[in-house]
A = this chain, B = another copy of it.
Amino acid sequence: MLYGALEAGGTKMVCAIGDEKGNILEQAKFPTTEPSETMESITGYFKDKEIAALGVACFGPIDLDKSSKTYGYITSTPKTAWKNFDIVGCLKDALGIPIGFDTDVNGSLLGEVTFGCAKELSDALYLTIGTGIGGGVMTNGRLLHGMLHPELGHIRIGKRAYDRGESVCPFHDDCLEGLASGPSIEKRWGKKAIELAGINEVWELEADYLATALVNYCLTLSPKKIILGGGVMHQEQLFCLIRNKFKEKMAGYIVTKELEDIDNYIVPASLNDDQGILGAIKLAMDSLQGE
């Protein structure tokens, strides 16, 4: 059986066709311009592919509450053309097949849980650190939505006294995204992250902020694995720094077999940047089960 997958991002839309084993058979990309144009490209792509269902891992905030009148909508996004856009309804009308729908980061996590490094774990966390910071969460084998959906990038982590940078978040002066996203690194040091690769103090501070956040997520969600993706994490030296600072900050308060094996607890994304599209395939599969 074939499934469609849409990774809906604020700058591009990745469309793919795959199967239940996680094979991606073909892929296409379209720029995210305004809804009528972009959706025509997307529905045109999927129309004759004989897919049984489509999964959508979507930028947000989005409405995931199936009892809500605006279920399937992109809601209060700063991308004004997409604000209050009924993306699920539009796809359902054009394609007439079941549509699975979740956040982009829940999609990435679902990809890792289904086909990647978190296979069969009931409780896991995926965090992406790039232009923004966001995360997907699974608890008791199910993706977490709750009141809305997690907004992990905006937890308050306390600005270090020696940090001369300024938060890039328009809402918060000391949230994780404001102090540790790609743009915040660039603003603080005056260069892009990639040009700062050899400068230790850049990554010491970055790892300190990220490790503080991971300790808080760990104590709150108790995941069995934490997966880190996104552009900033291409700086591979970060992993070792983050793991050491995580242990330092946890200070032995929690003892579990998972934390004893920290190299397998805090890990990079494992699916060559296909975790989102693979998660969308699983969302499509689950939509047939009425999940």
Contacts and interface: CB of A to CB of B under 8 A. Distances in A.
A216 B216 contact: yes
Interface string A207-249: 0000010011111111110000000000000000000000001
Given A123-B146, A147-B256, A158-B157, A152 B251 contact: no
A255 B140 contact: no
Contacts of A123: 145-147
Contact of A144 (B156, B171, B172, B222): B222
Interface in A107-150: 122-123, 137, 139-140, 142, 144-150
A150 B219 contact: yes
A222 B174 CA distance: 20
Nearest to A212: B156
B256 A220 contact: no
Contacts of A61: 254
Instruction: State the main secondary structure of chain A at its contact with B.
Output: loop
A157 to B, nearest CB: 7
A258 interface: yes
A291 to B, nearest CB: 12
B219 A151 contact: yes
B221 A145 contact: no
A23 interface: no
A171 B253 contact: yes
Interface residues on A, range: 35 or more
B151 A146 contact: no
A219 B171 contact: no
Given A123-B145, A152-B219, 15 more contacts: A123-B147, A139-B146, A140-B145, A147-B223, A148-B222, A149-B222, A151-B219, A151-B222, A155-B215, A156-B158, A156-B215, A171-B251, A171-B252, A220-B221, A221-B221
Q: Which 8 A-B pairs have the closest CB atoms?
A: A158-B158, A146-B222, A123-B146, A155-B216, A171-B253, A171-B251, A139-B139, A151-B219
Interface of A: 61, 76, 122-123, 137, 139-140, 142, 144-152, 154-159, 161, 171-172, 174, 212, 215-224, 249, 251-256, 258-259
13 contacts: A123-B145, A123-B146, A139-B140, A140-B142, A146-B222, A147-B222, A147-B223, A148-B222, A155-B216, A155-B219, A156-B215, A161-B161, A171-B252
